[in-house]
Amino acid sequence: VVSASLDTTVRVWDTTGLRRKNVRSGPPTSQNGRDAELFGGMDAVVKYVLEGHDRGVNWAAFHPTQSLIASGADDRSLKLWRMSDTRAWEVDSMRGHSNNVS
């Protein structure tokens, strides 16, 4: 999972620790009437924090076939990031928009 934030970072999350909870068919509710969680609590951990945007990041997405992430931000830039099993780094930065990239 990848997330974008107004704190100027992109985060890649390792979700292998998530455990699927048993939920009966129908809408998920708990005994007290609130929605039941489908996944366990704090089992997802940040694998990489990608820093390089100068302003808040509006979106980030994985490439469908390569180990790349694209992100767009309020600094009017697009960035490409590459990932390996042990690290992630900025590959390129593209500028040219006259306003925020969303």
Q: pLDDT (tens digit, 9 = 90+) per residue, 33-76?
A: 544 555 555 678 999 999 999 999 999 999 999 999 999 999 99
Q: Global pTM? A: 0.76
User: Looking at residue 43, what is its pLDDT?
Assistant: 78
Which two structure tokens, joined as six digits, stand for 86?
A: 């042990």
For residues 86 and 44, give the distance between their C-alpha atoms in angstroms, rounded to a whole number: 17
User: Is the pLDDT confidence value at 26 over 80?
Assistant: no
Q: Binning pLDDT at 50, 70 and 90, where does residue 81 land?
A: very high
For residues 68 and 56, give the distance between their C-alpha atoms in angstroms, rounded to a whole number: 20
Beta carbons of 13 and 44 less than 8 angstroms apart? yes
